[in-house]
Amino acid sequence: MRLGKWFNLVVLLAAISGFAAEKPDKQKQTPPGIKDRGVQRPIANIHPDAVFPVPGNPDWVLILKDSVWIGNKPTHTVTRLDPKTNTVVATVAVGKLPCSGLAGGFGSVWVPNCGDKTLSRIDLATNKVVATIPLGPANTEGAIAASEDRYLVFNRSEGSLGAN
């Protein structure tokens, strides 16, 4: 029995020493997404590929595979941008004061509206609101998420969750 305990101790010590020997040197590690350490681009040398006219107060952003959507509270709209052509494709009127994020799912963009406590569903194919659901967000900094078969939105200030 004592031999078994010694064996376990030796295995444990070997594992610990091997783990300690494999720890990477933090000084030599390169952060993810950076090929060369110390490479820096001054902000003055960074120029946009495109500038989009989005009047009002652009706020929440949703990036999909072929489009970018920008929520805009004061104009009660969401703007669709095409990153391939660098153009504004559509500006869609939604409920009052779009807020609390944007989400993509079911072939749609989902827009919570704080002003009238609704959820607008914009069809990606037509860029039109195809449904307005009486399910408002908790507040302007709430949350919404969507997948291909479900959406979730925090819809009460006490923390309840509305789902479909």
3-state secondary structure the chain: CHHHHHHHHHHHHHHHHHHHHCCCCCCCCCCCCCCCCCCCCCHHHCCCCCCCCCCCCEEEEEECCCCEEEEECCCCEEEEEECCCCEEEEEEECCCCECCCCEEECCEEEEEECCCCEEEEEECCCCEEEEEECCCCCCCCCCEEECCCCEEEECCCCCCEEEC
More confident residue, 100 or 158: 100
* Per-residue confidence (pLDDT) for residue 139, from 0 to 100: 64
Encode pLDDT of 18-77 as tens digits: 444 445 555 566 666 666 666 677 788 888 888 888 888 888 999 999 999 999 999 999
pLDDT digits (tens, 9 = 90+) for 10-23: 444 444 444 444 45
Architecture of 56-163 per CATH?
A: 6 Propeller (2.120)
Global pTM reads: 0.67
Mean per-residue pLDDT, 127-149: 79
Instruction: Reply yes or no on whether the pLDDT at 154 is more than 70.
Output: no
- What pLDDT score does 6 carry? 45
In this model, does residue 162 exceed pLDDT 80? Answer: no
